[in-house]
Homo-oligomer: A and B are copies of this chain.
Amino acid sequence: MNEIYAGVDLGGTTAKIGLFKKEGFLIRKWEIPTRKEDGGKHVSPDIAASIRKAMAEEGIPMEALAGAGIGVPGPILPDGYVEIIVNIGMRDWNPVKELSELLGGIPVKGANDANIAALGEMWQGGGKGHKDVVAITLGTGVGGGVIVDGHIVPGSHGMGGEVGHMVMDWQWPEPEACNCGNYGCLEQIASATGIVRIARRFMRKQDTPSVLRKADPLTAKAVFDAAKAGDELAEQVADYCMMYLARALSYISQVVDPEIFVIGGGVAKAGDYLLELVRKHFEPMITLIRGNAQLALATLGNDAGIYGAAKLAIDG
């Protein structure tokens, strides 16, 4: 019998779930609401019941379910223990043990959501065919996941790949604080909100006319669209923000030397234009490595997490 694996990507609003064949074929994907009431005690039972229901609807016996993986939005210890998930309000939780019990004792694996997304992109996304991959997500914040030899680097405090809080701008001190309390984090410059922040700063400091001055709302997409259309100020903003991202990639390269960086998240919808900007800055930053890491766009979008969670289960 073909083995089936479930991949769960738990978020604060919904849990995304997918059923996969071992070689990577997605049989079915769906979402269920994340019920936060009662300290989140319904979360695991809801997920398990939903998987059982979907298996039945697909006509697949539960015996075929060989394993499951789950990504959670916060640090998770190797044994599955989660001290706290802030945006669900859960404490002292072990989704790995709970899901295993609720699914008849099958093996279950857990990891941080940014890390399973990186694993998903390595398996079936922008990093397919590679084993040393660093994925960077440019969304509301900047997240990341480091994959070495096909495996997630979770970090000893669950903070592997937390590249959004590399303090990049410290020699010219950044006056505004990041959510983390530091000043000058990559997230303050290269996230969707960071790019808007930098655009506002450039507009305050320059008189250059720009379509961005009338943009309502002013978004990272508006900045990249204007830059692509030749708006000088927007070009400066995009160039500035992607230069900082490139600098961070150069540091990451000198620590783990990946084959490829996979860049995703809402900001990365700017596509090849963004990739070319990053590449322009990144290539000359490393003189020691002949043939730097490749740069590619993420391809799985919001499904990266369920792919990665399933891969986590398949790898065992």
Contact = CB atoms under 8 A, between A and B. Distances in A.
A182 interface: yes
Contacts of A163: 254-255
Interface string A165-182: 111011110000000111
Interface stretch (A17-25, A149-157, A193-201): A149-157
Contacts of A247: 167, 170
A286 B162 CA distance: 11
Contact of A180 (B146, B159, B169, B287): B287
A148 B247 CA distance: 23
Interface residues of A, number: 43
A257 B180 contact: no
A68 to B, nearest CB: 23
A278 interface: no
Interface in A238-273: 247, 250-259
Contact of A253 (B159, B182, B290): B159
A289 interface: yes
A223 B39 CA distance: 57
A167 B287 CA distance: 10
A160 interface: yes
A252 B169 CA distance: 16
Number of copies: 2
A291 interface: yes
Contact of A256 (B160, B166, B170, B172): B160
A9 interface: no
B161 A132 contact: no
A10 interface: no
A141 to B, nearest CB: 11
Given A160-B257, A165-B288, A255-B255, A155 B132 contact: yes
23 contacts: A153-B256, A155-B256, A155-B258, A156-B258, A156-B259, A156-B293, A157-B257, A157-B289, A157-B291, A159-B253, A160-B255, A162-B257, A162-B289, A165-B288, A166-B250, A166-B251, A167-B250, A170-B247, A182-B286, A182-B287, A255-B255, A255-B256, A256-B256
